[in-house]
Structure 1
Amino acid sequence: MDVGDRHDAVAILRRVSYYRLSGYWYPFRKQAATGRHDDFYPGTRLRDVVSLYDFDARLRAATFTALAPIELAIRALLGHELGKVDPCAHLDPGKLGITAQSGAGYRCWLDRYKSGLHQSREDFVKHHHERYGGRLPVWAAVELLDWGALTYLYGFAPRGVQDEVSAACGLSAPQLTSWLKALNVVRNTCAHHGRLFNRVHTITSKRPKPGEHPDLDAATTKWNRTFGQLTLIQFLLDRLQVGRKILLPTVLKGFPSVDIVPITHLGATSDWQSTSKLWCV
């Protein structure tokens, strides 16, 4: 690898650990049938590796930001629909769906919820504790849930509630369940500074039948790659009418010009901007 100026290279490794940066030069290593060689492709430069590292940091930040309004919208929708069933439906498995009434999953979720409620310093929690004994209605309780806990509560909800929430997203209940699980992994990757741009995602997202959403059909990608996951985010931003759909396309336009590692490592085609109106913003 051409490391350029030695002083600059040392400064980079003081800023970013060797082990962390090695994940970004992995695709620069020669490919063989048995895996990657230790030797790099000719023309590999440290500055290109750093460009990918810096791009990935921007992509994580933008993705985390793009997911926030989706999370808030799902919270609001789920709290509203469960509130129609009962103001405290989340505390009574008998008011929830069959999944909450079998196995230990709901009990574990409830224990985590109560622990979070006890530790919360939110003003609205203090207000409800002083006035109502801390028994939060579900439309307030959802504000304490992270993405994972929200996904579980959605899974525990009665099917009618699930259908109302998923319909607002343009999806069926099983589809939205799978999307929430998949995007929770994406969110956690961003929150914990994991490598995102060339990640292979293992949780499968169920997609609508061809023809239901032409803009989703038109997105050319491998759905287990990051561009596929970002397309799910673009779709939800569009259907829920929240957030800024320009955020992710703007970051992707800044993918560094590196011949050895093109944007296809993201799972996108070279003409990704013109494949679907989800990306033509």
Structure 2
Amino acid sequence: MKEFLPYKDQLDLLVQRGMDVGDREYAADFLRRVNYYRLSGYWYPFRQLVNRTRTDDFYPGTRLDDVFALYEFDGRLKAATFSVLAPIELALRALLGHELGRIDPCAHLDPSLLGPTARKGGAYAKWLRGYESELARSREDFVEHHRHRYGGRLPAWAAVEILDWGSLTYLYGFAPRTVQDAVANTCGLSAPQLTSWMKALNLVRNTCAHHGRLFNRVHTIIPKLPPADRHADLNAAASEWNRTFGQLTLIQFLLDRLELGRMRLLPAVVKTFPSVTAVPLAHLGASQDWETASRLWAG
């Protein structure tokens, strides 16, 4: 097990490995507020690459101030991303609840009214247990109203309001294809495409909510994309869809197609990417012409 290192010794170790830590008092104060190992994800690109392996030594000219700047940029990016994801989540809830309600007010509680996925294996039963647990814990006024007046059975358009993004994605997957298509069409996508986007953005949302690193991240879900001739603005926006800029482009697209506004926030934050020679904006997955390549990022 590694030995405990006081802040002074942590700074000494960084200096030993070739980093300019600048004002030591300021640097130590920053380490008191932000854990050394959290910051290590931001100085990772500054570590020398030898035979495709990162060493502990930093490239010449590496400054702790640049690491701090990247960390603070990432904080701004996560806050903005979490903020603009909220109206997308609410819109998807409303659309799905409305379309399920067309079939039956309580279609979400009857797998015979849902799609074939709800009748295969135990996934739906697991989802239903989670839903009932959330319902029992909820103290929302509309839930209390339904408890007193209707025995606690929420109609689909109300039930979606107690679901988190992950549970909402599962319910979308359980829905009949007609419902999936209606929701996806509003987004300018096919049902399989929207399913993959919802899964990808759920992970992005969780990264933001749990203080993960969004900068320089390679995401595990590559979204399914429409045919190349379907959406010119989407095609021009990004090519590395498993990088953060690609995932943020999904958000910009949905904000546009769902007419939710707020499309200027993410471009404004991306423009604040710090000027660090060793770590260019390409680490985010963005091209040099990202501002002009697509209207989705025009700001």
TM-score, length of structure 2 as denominator length: 0.93
Pick aligned residue for 1:87 from 84, 93, 105? 105
CA distance in 1, matches of 2:79, 2:241: 21
Matching of residue 21 in structure 1 with residue 29 in structure 2: no
Secondary structure of the residue aligned to 2:154 is: coil
> SS in structure 1 opposite 2:238?
coil
Distance 2:200 2:50 in 1: 30
Aligned to 1:275: 293
Q: Is the 8 A contact 1:221 1:227 kept in 2?
A: no
Q: Kindly indicate whether residue 139 of structure 2 is the aligned counterpart of residue 121 of structure 1.
A: yes
Question: What is residue 178 of structure 1 aligned with on the other side?
Answer: 196
Asked if structure 1 preserves the Cα contact closer than 8 Å seen for 2:238 and 2:245, the reply is no
Q: Spell out, residue by residue over 1:224-273, the C-alpha distance to the aligned partner (whole angstroms, 9 max, x if none).
A: 10000000000000000014000100000000000010100000012210
Task: State the one-letter code of the partner of 1:35.
Answer: T
Alpha-carbon separation, structure 2, partners of 1:85 and 1:220? 38
State the percentage of identical aligned residues.
70
Q: What is the aligned partner in structure 1 of residue 80 from structure 2?
A: 62
Gaps of 5+ in 2: 1-18
**Which of 50, 70, 75 is 2:68 aligned to?**
50
Match of 1:6 in 2: 24
Deviation at 1:5, TM superposition (A): 1.1
Structure 2 counterpart of 1:100, from 118, 130, 140? 118
Q: Mark the runs of 5 or more structure 1 residues left unpaired by the alignment.
A: none
Tell me the distance in 2 between the aligned counterparts of 1:77 and 1:66.
Answer: 18
**Paired amino acid for 1:232:** L
Task: Give the Cα–Cα distance (whole angstroms) in 2 for the partners of residues 81 and 38 of structure 1.
Answer: 55
Higher relative contact order (CA 8 A, sep 6+): 1
What's the CA shift for 1:220?
3.2
**1:34 CA drift (Å):** 3.4
SS in 1 for 2:276: coil
TM-score (norm 1): 0.99
Query: How far did residue 209 of structure 1 move?
Result: 0.5
Q: Residue in 1 aligned with 2:266? A: 248
1:166-186 deviation per Cα after TM superposition (whole angstroms, max 9, x unaligned): 000000000000000001000
**Structure 2 equivalent of residue 35 of structure 1:** 53
Q: Distance in 2 between matches of 1:23 and 1:81?
A: 43
Q: Contact (CA 8 Å) 1:79, 1:142: kept in 2 or not? A: yes
> How many corresponding residue pairs?
281
Q: Which structure has the larger Rg over C-alpha atoms?
A: 2
Kindly indicate whether the alpha-carbon contact (under 8 Å) linking 1:75 and 1:150 is maintained by their aligned counterparts in 2: yes
